[in-house]
Amino acid sequence: MGIVTFIEQSELAWLLLWALALGSALGVFYDVFRIIRRATRGVNKSPVGLALIFLQDVIFFIAAAAASAIFFYKLNSGRVRLSGVLFIVLGFSAYYFTLGRLVMLVADAIINFIKSTLIMAWKFICFIFSPVVRLFKFISSRLYAAAKKFYLRVYTRKTLGLYRKLLNK
């Protein structure tokens, strides 16, 4: 029994349809990382942020390679077909440039809403606690002034006492 390279047309059609579905699923998986990147835009410029982006890319490509290997093993007896790989890429591209754009528009709107809500909540908290902060600043400035005045009095008395002792000798 040799290597069978012949495949029925119906099997090839199912293989290519499943390859399109796998490519689309990989596009959805990649969108998760894209949403995380967009939500943490300012952090991504630091070395740690760049390392996290690299790690996300490595995770994606390992997952894509594993999914493709399992796909070909299960559906095509382990034989990799170039048409299958091309249809996986086609499915990914079709998702990325159609539904992926829509998903990212919705994700951007949600991210902006959450960010603006958090900023408004922070401003509200600052507004509520601003009288307390002002009171604390007022009390601390008065205490600082009183402590400084007390220190100067004590220092001046000590210094004058030392000078008197020196003069009286």
Q: Return the number of other C-beta atoms located less than 10 Å from residue 57's C-beta.
A: 12
118: tokens are 């958090």
Give the long-range contacts of residues 7-16, CB within 8 A, separation 24 or more: 7/76, 12/83, 14/75, 15/75, 15/76, 15/81, 15/83, 15/84, 16/83, 16/84, 16/87
Q: pLDDT (tens digit, 0 to 9) for every residue of the chain, 169 residues total?
A: 455 566 778 788 888 999 999 999 999 999 999 999 888 876 767 888 888 889 999 999 999 999 999 998 988 877 888 888 999 999 999 999 999 999 999 999 999 999 999 999 988 888 887 887 788 888 998 999 888 888 888 777 777 777 777 777 6
* pTM reported for the whole predicted model: 0.67
